[in-house]
Structure 1
Amino acid sequence: MPLSDAPDDLTPEAAVASAQSGDDHVEPVLPEVVRQRVISLAAGAMTGVPLDELPMPLRRVAKFAPNRRARLGGPVIAMQLSGDPLLRQRLATRIVNDAGDLGAAILEGVAPAAADPVEVAALAYLARPDGWRSMVDESTEAVRAEAEGSVAAERIRDVEQRLARAEHDRAVARVEADKLRDELARLRDETTGLREEVRSLGKSLRESQARERKATDMLSAEKGRAVRAAADHDAEVRRLRAKLAEAESAAGAQRQSAKDARAVDDARLWLLLETIGQAAVGLRRELALDPTDKLPADFVADTSADRPENASGAGAARALDADDPARLDQLLSLPKAHMIVDGYNVTKKGYAEISLEQQRNRLIAGVGGLVAQTRAEVTVVFDGAERVHGLPPAPRGVRVLFSRKGETADELIRRLVRAEPAGRPIVVISSDKEVVDGVRRHGAYPLSSDTLLRRLSRS
């Protein structure tokens, strides 16, 4: 009879006994988790039960704390619950009352859908209401299904992890295989190269050995000739020493004669220069020539060239037809020398890897240092097609010109050379054959762009 249908004067123990009266006495097989829950509930319900009301096997177990009671006396409790219906009835009454609404629902034979199947199975097993076996079976199936689902999910996760690791390992293996293939190909290429090198070295070794044998033979022959030549050389040295002594004696006499002649020439030259200087002073006074603040190149620049907005004028030199930087220094040391530079011809040969603006600035700065050293007049000419405004200020003594529209830098250079008076040393720096030939016809000294670049590199 369900607990809700019992008479009012029926106690909970009587209700549990009434609910169990019609059930089969064959014990069901419980899952381990349900069995442990039954033992735990029974162990807790034993608290407060007088020892004399408990079976003898449980009296010693009842003295333990509930947790130790379930852990240490679990088998004894389970055996007593299955074999002593009266004990199970007493404990079930306490357990059902403590379970509250869930216990009342179990006594009515109803298992709430949201209830824990383990708890439902344990309470149904202990209270044993009508239909308790089906409740235990259903809860057991739910527990087993949940356990199997957990196991299956765990297996699935394990399989997925293994698959992920396998995929990662396969990707790593592919990468390593590619690396090994590349390394193998590289080693094959190196092996081929080494084989060729070994063959080449073997051939070179054989040739060297043949040359060594030939050189040994030649050395033996040369040693014999050297012995003979040494004897002849010693005789020749003795003869030459005798002649050297005679020559030194004659040279001493010649040096004394030359010293006397040079003293006479120096006196004559000093007198000539003094006469010319006095004549030049008188001629300048007679012609009333005043110093000028403009040079011939300035007149050409005013009429036939464009100056950058910040260009400045100066002075420099003329040179010999040679590529030695020392010759350039020699020419620039001449009085009133004027050096004209074909700008882009020099920069594109010396530092073509940088921009045109950087080329111009580098060349102008370089010749500025040269002007500071030599005090010469320097004019740098650039082709007008590359003209740009806003150049940085030119160093003192450096004139920067751009050819005007319709005229090239080569033509402007020739115009500057023609404007200079005859006899003034003019140096033209350019590797352009037409420029070199043109200025040479007008008495200038052309030097290659390499000469100036080498001279600037020493500054």
Structure 2
Amino acid sequence: MDGTGGNPQAEQNGDDASAESLDRPLPEGVRHRVVTLAADAFGGLTHAELPSQLRPYARFTPNRRAKFAATALAATLEGDPAFRQRIAGKLREAQPELAEALDAGTPPPAVDPLDVAAAAYLLRPPGWVKLVAAAGEEAQRAHDERVGEEAAREVRQLRDELAEVRDQARADALKARADLEGVRKEAEALQRRLRSAASDVKRAEAALRKVEAELEDVRSTAATEKTAADSEARRLKARLTESESALEASRRAVREGRSIEDVRLRLLLDTVLDAAAGLRRELALPPRDMMGVRPADTVDAVKPGAISPKDIARRALSENDPALLDQLLALPQAHLVVDGYNVTKTGYPALPLEKQRLRLLGGLAVLAAQSGAEVTCVFDGADLDAPVLLAPPRGVRVLFSKAGETADELIRRLVRAEPAGRPIVVVSADREVADGVARAGARPVASTLLLKRLARV
């Protein structure tokens, strides 16, 4: 048997209704009720009776089937008459009274119009299109009435709320006016107090200015009197010193039996003799008995057994001779400035920077002890991420350049800081550094010269 339950009347109605069709989509309420009825009757069909597009929903519950398969159910009911007749058969079995009434053309008035329209759509009795349309219109009227009632109820509620808001607004406005009046009175009182306080401040400022002026006058007078007192005290001290000096000179003259003129004359003579001796030492003049120089002795010539100019040239020290550095450091108050990394990267570049520093500073400490010269070693500190933990050796000053400054610039500042005329020796292989310190009056030497000298330590 098929899904119509073998009812000849249903088959006849279906054949008669095939000539009828809706000229508009199903009303939404009717469509929802049709899908619900189909979802309920869906479970009573076998797997073979189900269309292929609805078989995935066979295991769903009616509620889930109506929710997730609503579109597929509506489309299949509209396009598959056999499936619709099977669902109509299940409806006849579930609601026989409603089905018989629709077949007879007298739908029961007590039944929901949506149920009547949904059953008419599935059973397709004669005139089912009118039943569906009438049910849709009835449902729309009912919906419009419900919407109208809800809108009227909302309007009444909004009017009530608006009245309450207006009453509350009036009360708030009255309260705000009262508060504003109180604030205005308080502001007026504060303004009066402010004006009074401003007047008091002005009077106090005037009194303060008067007191400051009087105090400044007193200070000026006191400073003048103090200056005068200090001048008088210095004058009296000077007179007292002169008096004491004269008294002491008188006593000494009396003790030695000489007059004050003799004392002054002897003092002048001693001064002249001391000046002459100092001048002789300054000019390094030989004693009087050794000044046997004659004009012929001043003529430049090579004397027998004397050293010729060529011998002098051969005996001059080379720029690469370590003894040259010893001679420079032997000058009085010599200052040796070393470009640290320039020397270490020339002599032992393979070592880590820390070991380079330690090796160079160790050699400089020995050189400072041997020569007695002042030694300063400068390293480039611009790229240091953290302070260097280093204990400078005795006799060696260790400096790092600041951020944004190179070691070359620090060396130039050290040279400029020294007084003119002091022997300054700068060790660097950088030609720009050597030229710069030479213009400043220092003596540049190569890094290799210092490395050779330290190799002898």
Bucket of the pairwise TM-score, normalised by the shorter protein: 0.3 to 0.5
TM-score if structure 2 supplies the norm length? 0.39
TM-score if structure 1 supplies the norm length? 0.39
Q: Which has the higher contact order (CA 8 A, sep 6+)?
A: 1
